[in-house]
Structure 1
Amino acid sequence: MPSPIKRHPALQPLSRDHHFGLLLCWKIRKGLSKQIDIQRIKAYVYWFWNSHLSAHFEEEEKYVFPLLGDGNKLAEQALQEHRTIRSLMAKMEDLENVLQTLEETLTSHIRFEERELFNAIQEVATADELAIIENLHHQQIDENAWEDRFWE
């Protein structure tokens, strides 16, 4: 098991978001394995997207990824993964396949940001740049805001 990554305090709120994103993936996986009605899972995924994940993506794209500079491979990979996830959210017709792909893609994306991208940002960002990130991200995800706990 890899040792915990030391995260700069400015990036810790985004990492906390990643924890909840991985929890979303676990809930999708759990709901699918329990053969829960897809519409229930979809409703939760849409709620999480609209309440948290979409804003998280926008924040990273506006304030975090640019710190690595134009053409940076890590930032480009993260942006491409964001586009893929947005595309999956937009085409929820084949729900079960989309949910499974979303869960796998989002899990992989969060692991990449935590293990590679954020480490690179910590190496290049100035104290002022990190302070901007730290000051803008304070929303806590309320796990109890969704009543249908299909994953239990």
Structure 2
Amino acid sequence: MEKTKPIKRHIALQPLSRQHHFGLLFSWKLRKGFHKNIETERLQKYAKWFFKHEIEPHFKDEEKYLFPIMEPDNPLIDRALKEHRRIKRLFNNTKNPERSLHQLEEELDAHIRFEERVLFNEIQKVATEEQLKKVEEIHDGLEKSPDYHDPFWE
């Protein structure tokens, strides 16, 4: 089996990549919760908390500071924005919460992998040092979110 080389991420994008890591952990925690038959309501509460503390600010930063680095109407940015809208809807869907959480777990995972493996690489290729410096500045002093109070996945 061919080993994939680790992606060399520009220092300015590393905080966003770390946040992606937390998103992948979120998906893993949901999977663990489903496997352990944790009540949907507990999983929903965690998802609501995660959206407020992690996803919402992360998406805002990407959309405001990172995505504009690419040319307007870039198909990769269009895809990322569509996925952001879809993921937000899944986080906020209360009609069929169990189904939404299952979809969310899968779609967030796939979205993060797309951004890390494809989109961020393309942004790194075209970004100027000035643009990357601006992205880096917005993450200076970024506070870590508090730990979630109900570790159902343990």
**Length-normalised TM-score, structure 2:** 0.94
- 1:140, CA displacement in angstroms? 4.4
- 1:73, CA displacement in angstroms? 1.0
- 1:141, CA displacement in angstroms? 3.5
Alignment of 1:2-151 (within 5 A): 2-138=4-140, 139-142=142-145, 145-151=147-153
Query: 2-side partners of 1:107 and 1:145: how far apart?
Result: 21
Q: Percent identity?
A: 49
Runs (4+) off by over 3 Å:
none
CA deviation string 1:13-40 (max 9, x = no partner): 0000000000000001110111101111
- 1:146, CA displacement in angstroms? 1.1
- 1:2, CA displacement in angstroms? 2.1
**Length-normalised TM-score, structure 1:** 0.95
CA deviation string 1:97-129 (max 9, x = no partner): 100000101000000000000000000010010
Look up the equivalent residue of 1:141 and give its one-letter code. K
Query: 2-side partners of 1:91 and 1:10: how far apart?
Result: 33
Aligned length: 151
